[in-house]
A = this chain, B = another copy of it.
């Protein structure tokens, strides 16, 4: 039997975009990337584990902030090159800026306007010296 991970069309860097969506409200919280190991671990541990391209290593979402994303459902798209995760966002904050969602800027009259509040000071979320998980 073909492994479900083999059915994913990984890009040239061996990655696939992963969209995280609140399983209750449907709000899209963030988009990050996964390599094969990250996706395998996400399914095995039932929590979102991404591949950090900037740091070049696995990113266990919430490892520092506590803002773990518990997995409720995992889907693959028609081209098998994007996955979507239905998650329970612990702490109600997905973004490193302290907001619920990373998509907090709306285009209005040719300007990206911030429309969502900061729910928690990022300095209170992360230790000194970190600006992003």
Which A residues fall within an 8 A CB radius of B? 3-4, 7, 17, 19, 21, 25-28, 30-31, 43, 73-79, 82, 84, 95-97, 99, 102-107, 110-112
Contact = CB atoms under 8 A, between A and B. Distances in A.
Contact of A106 (B3, B21, B74): B74
15 contacts: A4-B110, A7-B112, A17-B31, A19-B19, A21-B28, A28-B84, A31-B77, A73-B107, A75-B107, A76-B103, A76-B105, A76-B107, A77-B105, A78-B96, A78-B104
Contact of A74 (B75, B97, B99, B107): B107
Nearest to A21: B28
Given A25-B26, A31-B19, A112-B4, A79 B107 contact: no
Contacts of A4: 107, 110-112
Given A4-B107, A19-B28, A19-B31, A102 B78 contact: yes
